[in-house]
Amino acid sequence: MSINIWHPFTQHGLGEPIPEIARAEAAALYQADGTKIIDAISSWWVQTHGHCHPRIVSAIQEQSTRLDQMIFAGWTHEPARELAAGLSDFLPESLEHIFFSDSGSTAVEVALKMALGYWHNRRESRQKILVMEHSYHGDTIGAMSVGARGVFNQAYAPLLFDVGTIGFPEAGAEQATLDQLEAFCKDRENPPAALIVEPLILGAGGMIIYSADILAQMAAICREHDVLFIADEVMTGWGRTGTVFACEQAGVEPDILCMAKGLTGGVIPLAVTAATDPIYQAHYSENRAQMFFHSSSFTANPIACAAANANLAIWRDEPVQQRIDAIIASHLAFSDRLKQKSNVSGLRQCGTILAFEIDDGAGDYMSSLGPQLLAFFRDHKILLRPLGNTIYIMPPYCISSVELDAVYAVIEEAIDHFRDC
């Protein structure tokens, strides 16, 4: 009997090729025969400093010979303590406590449980979670519940809990979103426990962007009405929007912040949910029934923590912000070229992320153009994974100008090709 691999977000019934990668370095993936593929989406938004960064690789190698794994319930280790101390240089002072998990989805699950536990332990009846239209927060049950309902999760609908949804703050209609949030927060019969948002840009929802001002106003409304504000920075964190965390651009200090992906430079799974002291204190008690009930076998894995510590060292010691700024400037210049294309619409940029729609002007994940675009980029040795007919670029910060120009050239070729089809 042979065992077949079942790949994520892959319809095997279509018989599409699945290339095999042998090694990677910086912004490139290499097949066994030496063929180079430029990684223009950071291997699903995780790679920040590039593949196989020597500092991170060295940290993993060294840690794996000293302490590879241990239980974290009631025990601790030096890499975790070092990471907690190091994160204080990057997080707002109000986020005094961190809880480890092992993926973006679990970081969100932890955040939701923290929020509900906070109100439960205060003997206040608040269970409703508020969410933003088009959001995506992960593929576990709680994370799917607070994400957009649709083709992603319709088969699992019986498992999902109800939420309160505010509209996406479309340009020119932002006040409607704020009014909806205010109405939910003022509901004294069913007061919400928390609002969870992807700050500034919604990823899997189509790389759609809203302003820092709206983010700040949403946080202010929540604070005014004593509703917890959760920032899901799993994708946006670690530089993607131009600052370390997207919330910085709005001057927002959330009650709870989720991070993963770039926390280890995108090399190994690790997540952190950071919380304020009041949330921690709501669980702090001599009553064991009031503790925070969450864990996984690999919570705060020492090797993963060592990789994260190396990531922080890279941020401190290398010109990461200059690399980010260079990508931002390059995207801006490329945008000027894209404006001349008749079949390009919705051109937008948030930090190192550039996105637009091709062909029909509306983002549609199930667009038939999606698989065609994916195949075109694969054939041209560029790793881009369009969200239907939405093309986006989210490269690792180490990408060279030559590599980025090559990505732009292939995208322009694709635009022209599908316009003429």
**Residues 131-163 pLDDT 10s:** 999 999 999 999 999 999 988 899 999 999 999
56-317 and 12-39+319-420 share a CATH fold = no
> With b meaning 16 or more CB within 10 Å and e meaning fewer, what string describes 322-340?
ebbebbbebbeebeeebee
Is residue 131 within 8 Å of 149, Cβ to Cβ?
Answer: no
What was the pLDDT predicted at 364? 80
Q: What is the mean pLDDT of residues 171-178?
A: 96
Bridging pattern class, strands 390-393 and 353-358: antiparallel
Is residue 29 scored above 80 in pLDDT?
Answer: yes
Global confidence as pTM: 0.97
Give the lowest-confidence range in 289-293, 298-302, 364-368: 364-368
Under the phi-then-psi rule, with left for phi > 0, alpha for psi from -120 to 50, and beta for the rest, what region is 50?
left
What average pLDDT does the chain have?
Answer: 96
pLDDT tier at 337 (50, 70, 90 boundaries)? very high
| CA pair distance 254, 261, nearest whole angstrom | 19
| CA pair distance 231, 215, nearest whole angstrom | 10
What was the pLDDT predicted at 383? 98
Nearest by Cα to 161 from 143, 188, 136, 173: 143
- The structural architecture, per CATH, of the domain 12-39+319-420 is Alpha-Beta Complex (3.90)
Q: What percent of the chain has pLDDT over 90?
A: 96
| Element (DSSP H or E) covering residue 283 | helix 277-283
pLDDT tier at 362 (50, 70, 90 boundaries)? low
Which CATH code, of 3.30.470.10, 3.40.50.720, 3.40.640.10, 3.40.50.300, is assigned to 56-317?
A: 3.40.640.10
Indicate the SS3 state at residue 171: coil
Extents of the domains making up the chain: 12-39+319-420, 56-317
Q: What is the mean pLDDT of residues 340-357?
A: 96
Is residue 215 within 8 Å of 197, Cβ to Cβ?
Answer: yes
Query: What are the tens digits of pLDDT across the range 241-264?
Result: 999 999 999 999 999 999 999 999
Nearest by Cα to 230 from 201, 193, 260: 193
Query: What are the tens digits of pLDDT across the range 203-227?
Result: 999 999 999 999 999 999 999 999 9
Is residue 363 scored above 70 in pLDDT?
Answer: no
